[in-house]
Amino acid sequence: MNNAKKIETWFDLFRILVAVLLAYVIALIILGIISDDPLYVIGQFITGPFSTFRRFGNILTTMIPIMFTGVCMCFVYAINKFNLVGEGAVNLGGCLSACVAIALSDKVPAWLLLIIVLVVGALAGMACSLIPALADQLFHADVCVVSLMMNYILLYITSYILKYRIKDPGSSITASYKWASSLKLGNLIPGTSVHFGFLIAIACVVIAAILFYKMSFGYRMRVVGMNPVFAKYIGMPVMATIILAQVIGGAFAGIGGTVQVIGMFQSYQWTSLTGYGFDGLMIAVLARKNPAFVPLSAFLIAYIRTGADIVSRTTDIPPEFVSIIQGIIIVLVAAEMFLSRFKSKLIFNSAKKALAQKEGKA
């Protein structure tokens, strides 16, 4: 029995690898077909992200926001509630942090302001995800629909705040007033665009992993996610766990918005949803709901993205073709039947071998 479980674990990993490879190959084929110079384009796509130190830095920079939302979606996905509010939480977290940063820019020291904006981001994210969670748990409204609606509401709120409350009339683009440059997160690796937000993201991953696997809350969450009826039967506070997990997840997404805003810009400029929330879901799927694997899967996605970005800048191929790869990866990883025959065969063979051994001994 133990053997079968081991095969299953390894098989999961194998399946994800095959799915990623398959999607990658499909992307290469598409690139090859539409490009005039397929070898050059494919080469750029595969080796481009590693070709210069600066480009490698771009991978790490791309990882930062999607690590936060990846962690967020791990919590949400672990309890099997598709609360997609991470998308809007990023916007609100970033926007409110920007407001606070502008208001307090010269009044408090930078380190204190940094802590304040991170807390503001976290609170904003928590508030965002609390609403769909409560609507779902108290009133039985579909959490997915409510959270999708929330995303638009949050988008319009933040864009209203940007346009009517904090917009800098002197700026040529739609951007807020600038905050003190001392707040902007410093450069982590010289010669690249990687900022200290990377460390904050890693810290969040560590905190999430501890919550998941070293604390009773994490255990409760996983049991509730796997079987809420059983969890209720053995006396776990199911409703509280479900709500709390989503709220914690939202906090991470909110912090992600804050870090992205003060790490990359010196003013708030988002007028549309960022897409980081949906990226987070994909990362959580690839990480098998385990926060410890979030950096790895974020790296993978960021690598593919950076490659696409390089391709789109050196040739005229639009970078959107990455989203095709992302779609294929999610479907293949999510499809239980993908390679399942192969898995059953492996388990069957190992069981047969075990049986033969037993009979041989007897």
Contacts with other proteins by CB under 8 A lie at 30, 33-34, 82, 131, 135, 139-142, 144-146, 148-150, 152-153, 156-157, 159-160, 163-164, 278, 281-282, 285, 316-318, 320-324, 326-331, 334-338
Question: Considering beta carbons, is residue 149 or 180 the nearer one to other proteins?
Answer: 149
Minimum Å distance from CB 121 to other proteins?
A: 21
Tokens of 241: 């766990």
Minimum Å distance from CB 206 to other proteins?
A: 26
Q: Which of 333, 331, 305, 332 is nearest to 320 (CA)?
A: 305
> Which DSSP string corresponds to 104-148?
HTTTS-HHHHHHHHHHHHHHHHHHHHHHHHHHHHHH---HHHHHH
CA distances from 25 to 32, 42, 325 (A): 10, 10, 9
Contact 64/259 with Cβ under 8 angstroms?
A: yes
Minimum Å distance from CB 223 to other proteins?
A: 19
Q: Which of 288, 290, 259 is nearest to 276 (CA)?
A: 259
Contact 82/76 with Cβ under 8 angstroms?
A: yes
Question: Considering beta carbons, is residue 154 or 185 the nearer one to other proteins?
Answer: 154
Question: Considering beta carbons, is residue 145 or 354 the nearer one to other proteins?
Answer: 145
Minimum Å distance from CB 69 to other proteins?
A: 13
Question: Considering beta carbons, is residue 336 or 359 the nearer one to other proteins?
Answer: 336
Minimum Å distance from CB 218 to other proteins?
A: 22
| Secondary-structure breakdown of the chain: helix, strand, coil percentages, each rounded to the nearest 5 | 75, 0, 25
Question: Considering beta carbons, is residue 146 or 298 the nearer one to other proteins?
Answer: 146
